[in-house]
Amino acid sequence: MNIIITGASRGIGFETAKLFAASGENNIVAIARNETNLKELKDACIQGNMKTRIFPIVFDLEKTELYDKILLKEIKNCVDNVDILINNAGLLINKPFEKLSNSEMNSMLQVNLAAPALLIQCLLPIMVRPCHIVNISSMGGFQGSQKFPGLTIYSAAKAGLASLTECLAEEYKGSGLTFNCLAIGATDTEMLREAFPDYKPPFKASEMAEFIVDFALNKQKFFNGKIIPVTISTP
């Protein structure tokens, strides 16, 4: 299978790419900004399985004007089509609402909402049927869940990603494209530790990756247009 994962240089994306690569039967396109971390990912995948086929692409998802010009071309250099897309990249800035700059707001909206939408749009011509698109949201963006100060724009963007999932599932119903959204709970990642240094989350990144891989491979038969909370807590 041909699988694209964004935000693959660390955390959940890193562990998800490793799991997909472990079989050696998949082509993994790993997209992230950090070239050093992507090299570490490739090395880790090869150590796990010498038959691994992983293609790192260094790209800043905030550069939305370059998706068609650069990103799509680089993806096509790696794979001819797409079986699974996992929109995992995220940006979290923990700051009181009144202190957020325009730049910080725009960055969170771009990475958490605009980037997944634009990537789906530019990949539509090379998505096979069936194709499973899995958007990684957050419990912060899940309607009715507990909200936290400092995460206003992040949570709003993730809520938008959930709504985008529902709308695309309806628009492409019956086309062979399946859209689902996982609203994950607190997971031990670099991004979470940077935002909440003293918080101890209940999940490891590798544990959440196991759930995501199984869901992406097997659950499109049961779900489409669904926002699924992945958490052990209640709202």
The pLDDT tens digits for 114-123 are 999 999 999 9
> What does the longest C-alpha to C-alpha distance in the chain come to?
51
d(CA 59, CA 118): 14
pLDDT higher than 90, residue 196: no
The pLDDT value given to residue 216: 98
pLDDT higher than 70, residue 157: yes
Q: Which two tokens stand for residue 184?
A: 């994950």
Judge contact between 107 and 91, C-beta under 8 A: yes
d(CA 54, CA 75): 12
d(CA 135, CA 117): 10
Cα–Cα separations (whole angstroms), residue 144 to 12, 36, 141, 161, 229: 24, 39, 9, 16, 11
Q: What domains sit in the chain, N to C, each tagged with a CATH number?
A: 2-230 (3.40.50.720)
Q: Taking residues 27-55, what's their average pLDDT?
A: 94
The pLDDT value given to residue 74: 98
Provide, rounded to the nearest whole percent, the portion of the chain with pLDDT above 90. Answer: 80
Cα–Cα separations (whole angstroms), residue 17 to 13, 26, 33, 122, 176: 6, 10, 15, 22, 24
Q: Taking residues 210-234, what's their average pLDDT?
A: 93
Instruction: Give the pLDDT confidence of 64-114 residue by residue, as tens digits.
Output: 999 999 999 999 999 999 999 999 999 999 999 999 999 999 999 999 999
Quote the mean pLDDT of the chain: 93
Q: What pairs with residue 179 in β-bridges?
A: 133
